[in-house]
A and B are shown apart, each in its own frame.
Chain A
Amino acid sequence: MSLLEIRNLCVEFETRGGAFRAVDGVSLDIDPGEIVSIVGESGSGKSVAMLAVMGLLPRTAHVTADVLRFAGRDLMRLPARERRRIVGREIAMIFQEPMSSLNPCFTVGFQIGEVLKTHLGLGRAERRARTIELLGAVGIPDAERRLSAFPHQMSGGMSQRVMIAMAIACNPKLLIADEPTTALDVTIQAQILDLLVKLQQERGMALVLITHDMGVVAETAQRVIVQYAGQQVEKATTRELFRDPHHPYSAALLAALPERATTKVLPSIPGVVPGQYDRPQGCLFAPRCAHAFALCHAKAPPPAGSELSEALCHTPLVGGVPVVPGAAA
């Protein structure tokens, strides 16, 4: 049985300009102990989708799903109290901005210890010992002295390590890492990524890694979902996606990788992800798609079959060439 089952997850925000659908039909299964990556440009609804799983969206968000189940428990129906027993304990999440994600008024030791107290009911001495252990596990030197440090006394990389220590405090079954390295120096990025993968393997937890960087995907994930403007446009194993991307958007993201470049200038995808007010009719990617034709601008595509990675496209690519599904065979 899957650890996390998501079927047709949608999130709509009430805004002044009316309802805005930030996540539109995401379906995903995560098995225990695997690394799944969610990839897409900024504004694709990656964060919102995972915040919906955590139950952390503001009140203006309206979440619907055919299935939203964690370890057999229906998250949509769970009372808030019960859900809080899962969140922070069995599912944990770390964020893009480690510096502002820690509370400036409390010490590192307090903020980690708080999780241990809330979920495990540990006493003072036990909390202290366990916190030192956790800080050691995330590679913070001189852990004992760090207990009384305040967030403003630490670097970004150090803060993210503390966030990770906090997240793994109760040995979660699933860790969601939302662009954990985006805000960090390049040299630190690789260290944090390595740490996450190491902890994931040691502890056998599942890891959802949100990123906009296909390079990160290649290094870490076993499976990928590609998200664009709130929609899931492709779902594949990392190998399959890198070997033969079926959605033009995935292909474009891959083409932008430095190691895949065929020219000196990196190809970038022209245009930006549509927001609330500039949603095109038909396929949402059509205005930026190199292969778009009349139908794409008129009608939203249905997902292709699983042999084509459920690509959300009228003419998914096969070997880089658009084909009409069914017609080819």
Chain B
Amino acid sequence: MLTYIGRRLALTIPTIFALMFLTFLAVRLVPGDPVEVRTGERGISPERLAQFRHELGLDQPVWKQFADYVSGLAQGDFGISLVTKEPVLKEFLTLFPATLELAFFATVFAVTFGIPFGVVAALRRGGILDHGLMGVALFGYSMPIFWWGLLLILFFSVQLDLTPVSGRIDLLYYFEPVTGFMTIDALISGQEGAFASALSHLVLPAVVLGTIPLAAIARMTRSSMLEVLEEDYVRTARAKGLPPLRVIGLHALRNAMIPVVTVIGLQGGTLLAGAVLTETIFAWPGVGKWLIESIFRRDYPALQGGVLLISSILVLVNLGVDIVNGVINPRVRHGR
């Protein structure tokens, strides 16, 4: 197992390097010089311009810029935001827990409903339940996040007044962030009602963000389960006289989960992309909303650092998926 993890880890290093290069390149390919863009309509004297360019290292040859960028990264320097003058890494780390909390609850929602939906649909293949569940899944899969979010807000927040419209917690509560996760901090603070408030703020955004992954997981679980149910070893399990719950829930599901885990991991990308929209709709102070704002403010260092950080996290998520795959699938672990 350890050699397997080591092998997978070694493979991620070149990926991270490629990411550094691509984010570096992408920002330099954006039309317009970041310095000129910042000076605006009024223009700037050539001396001031040269000085700015020197401060930002833009007068260096490109390879030198890249080398500086990488060596900066190696020291944890992801650049300084042009707008707030704060280190990008610090801003990111302050906001990231909010996104992570949202993505986590969205995944929990997607997995807890997606897997049972898929299993039930497979067991009732061709029946009303199968068609019903898969119809709902297809609907969820094709629902634009903006539209879906607004729909839920209109119904649950405006019509029924059940959930708050935006933010992470009621303004009634205040406590210093400890972990950055509102639900955990609320519990730590010990303030009555704080946890419930944090949770009620999470429900709608998590449902909105989790809908597409839920649909993807349900569909994958169904098709994988249908395939596995035809396998000889499922017949063997039944020939052993095992109860159906054990045959389905252990012998079949364990095998059916192998492709599903990969799909869950691939939802990491969907989640972060979806987080940009979801956070904007629900005024959720996470990195998605921050990235959108950086674009509008032309805060290139923030954008460059933010994108690199997010994509590195995705790479690590994929690494995690591979490790989980190795745990549940011995053939993967033994390199076949």
Interfacial residues, chain A to chain B (CB-CB below 8 A) = 54, 56, 84-89, 92-93, 95, 97, 100-106, 114-115, 118-119, 150, 152-153, 163, 166
Q: How far is the CA of A163 from the CA of B231 in the complex (A)?
A: 15
Query: Judging by beta carbons under 8 Å apart, are B254 and A105 in contact?
Result: yes
The answer to whether A152 touches B241, judged by C-beta atoms less than 8 angstroms apart, is: no
From B128-136, B154-162, B259-267, B325-333, give the one contacting chain A. Answer: B325-333
User: B239 to A56, Cβ gap below 8 A?
Assistant: yes
Chain A residues near B235: list those with CB within 8 A. Answer: 56, 95, 101
Assembled-state Cα–Cα distance A163/B232 (Å): 12
A86 to B243, CA, bound (A): 12
Closest 9 CB pairs of A and B: A88-B241, A88-B240, A103-B233, A100-B232, A87-B241, A150-B330, A101-B232, A84-B241, A105-B254
Name the contact of A103 in the complex, choosing from B236, B328, B334, B336 (C-beta under 8 A): B236
Cβ of B286 to closest chain A Cβ, rounded Å: 37
Main SS of the interface on chain B? helix
A166-B240 contact given A100-B232, A104-B255, CB 8 Å threshold: yes
A95:B330 contact, CB within 8 angstroms: no
Q: Mark B75-88, 1 if CB is under 8 A from A, else 0.
A: 00000000000000
Name the CB-closest residue of A to B253: A105
Q: Quick check: A86 and B241 within 8 Å, CB to CB?
A: yes
Q: How far is the CB of B250 from chain A (nearest CB, A)?
A: 9
A104 and B336 CA atoms in complex are apart in Å by 11
Q: A56-B235, A101-B233, A105-B255 are in contact. Are A85 and B241 (CB under 8 A)?
A: yes
Name the CB-closest residue of B to A96: B232
Given A92-B239, A104-B330, 15 further pairs, Cβ under 8 A: A54-B239, A84-B241, A84-B243, A87-B241, A89-B241, A95-B232, A100-B232, A100-B233, A101-B232, A102-B233, A105-B328, A115-B241, A118-B246, A150-B330, A152-B334
Q: How many residues of B contact A (CB 8 A)?
A: 22
- Chain A CB within 8 A of B219 CB: no
Task: Mark interface residues in B312-336 (1 if CB within 8 Å of A CB, else 0).
Answer: 0000000000000000111100101
The residues in B between 242 and 275 inclusive whose CB is less than 8 angstroms from any CB of A are 242-243, 246, 251, 254-255
CA distance A85 to B237 in the complex (A): 13
Q: Is B298 an interface position by the 8 A CB rule?
A: no
Least CB distance from A325 to B in Å reads: 41
24 intermolecular pairs with C-beta atoms under 8 Å apart: A56-B239, A84-B241, A84-B243, A86-B241, A87-B238, A87-B240, A88-B239, A88-B242, A100-B231, A100-B232, A100-B233, A101-B235, A103-B233, A103-B237, A103-B255, A104-B255, A105-B254, A106-B251, A115-B240, A115-B241, A118-B242, A119-B241, A150-B334, A152-B336
Whether the Cβ atoms of B334 and A153 lie closer than 8 Å is yes
Q: Which chain A positions have C-beta within 8 A of B329?
A: 104-105
What residues of chain A lie closer than 8 Å to B233, measured between beta carbons? Answer: 100-104
Give chain A residues whose Cβ lies under 8 Å from the Cβ of B232: 95, 97, 100-101
Q: With a CB–CB cut-off of 8 A, which chain B residues contact A115?
A: 240-241
